[in-house]
Amino acid sequence: MKVSLNVLGTGAWATGGTMNTARFGNSNAGTQTSAITFGGNTPPFSALNELYDGSSWTEVNDLNTARDNCGGLGTSTAALAVGGNAPSLLASNESWNGTSWTELNDLNTARKSLAASGITTAALAFGGFTPPISKLNESWNGTSWTEVGDMNTARQLLMGGGTATSALAVAGEITADSALNESWNGTAWTEVADLNTARRDGAAAITSSASGIVFGGTEPKKANTESWNGSSWTEVADLATAVASLGGNGSAVLALKAGGDAAARVATSEEWTVPATVTNTTITD
């Protein structure tokens, strides 16, 4: 009997398409081959919005309100831009339908440097700076935001992602860079295994509380990438360039990094891929 086993490789970053406008503090949504990046700082605060098709970026309709450091979630055809800095703190919530942005009901609490997870009909927005640094968590049902169970530890410039009922809140700034990691089960946050390298202001590609990667961050600027398997973090291949305040989206297997602040703001993107290898084994009885 011959058995074929699909085994995931270790993964690597490769050069992706260059954005039309260099920026940092932008937010991403979507997959590696169908992504959107919006907002950021060029400077000044930006409303710019670009779509990625797996090889090139195209400028499309802008946000209604220029901002950086907002929460981003969803897909390239159905996304939310939540909160942010413009330069005053925003509670603004905008929805992308693949063509244009529409203002919807605001967050209950204005904030910047927050994380977000989910889709346009079921989402979370957590952490950030209100001031002070916040552990607030709000749930979106497609119509309005409701405050739900807070994180255990207040953090800003954190990385997060997943769904409305299965999410991670990773690292960020408390009084210094943090390695903390909390898991959301739809009701409450639980502290789970920390990152290997403390950081803030990085990016994430997280699909649930059981799977994702985080990459980049500061201080100093980092290229480190770590992969989460639901119980522990493993250091994997670094980004080509150490960078902070970047956009990120995708999954632990296929992810995208866009823009950010290296020595200065950049327009570069990188693509993360974990190849599958097929192993054939013959078993004799």
Could you write out the three-class secondary structure of 32-95?
Answer: CCCEEEECCECCCECCCEEEECCCCEEECCCCCCCCECCEEEECCCCEEEECCECCCECCCEEE
pLDDT at 130: 97
Q: pLDDT digit string (tens) for 256-283?
A: 999 999 999 999 999 999 997 655 555 5
Instruction: List phi, psi (to 5°) of 142.
Output: 100, -15
Q: What is the spatial order of strands in the sheet that 211-215 belongs to?
A: 203-208, 211-215, 225-228, 233-236
pLDDT at 25: 98
Q: pLDDT digit string (tens) for 146-199?
A: 999 999 999 999 999 999 999 999 999 999 999 999 999 999 999 999 999 999
**Which residue, 207, 208, 206, 210, is CA-closest to 225?**
206
Q: pLDDT digit string (tens) for 28-38?
A: 999 999 999 99
Specify whether the CB–CB gap between 118 and 124 falls below 8 A: yes
Mean pLDDT, the chain, integer: 95
pLDDT at 276: 75
pLDDT at 219: 86
Percent of residues, the chain, with pLDDT higher than 70? 94
- Whether pLDDT at 82 is above 80: yes
| DSSP bridge pairs for 41 | 24, 45
- Whether pLDDT at 220 is above 50: yes
Q: Does the CA dihedral 217-219-225-230 come out positive or negative?
A: negative
Give CA 229 to chain center in angstroms. Answer: 17
Specify whether the CB–CB gap between 123 and 140 falls below 8 A: yes
> DSSP code of 25?
S
Q: Which domains can be identified in the chain, with CATH numbers?
A: 2-282 (2.120.10.80)
pLDDT at 5: 46
Specify whether the CB–CB gap between 94 and 64 falls below 8 A: yes
Please tell me the pTM assigned to this model.
0.93
pLDDT at 284: 55
| Number of residues that this document lists for the chain | 285
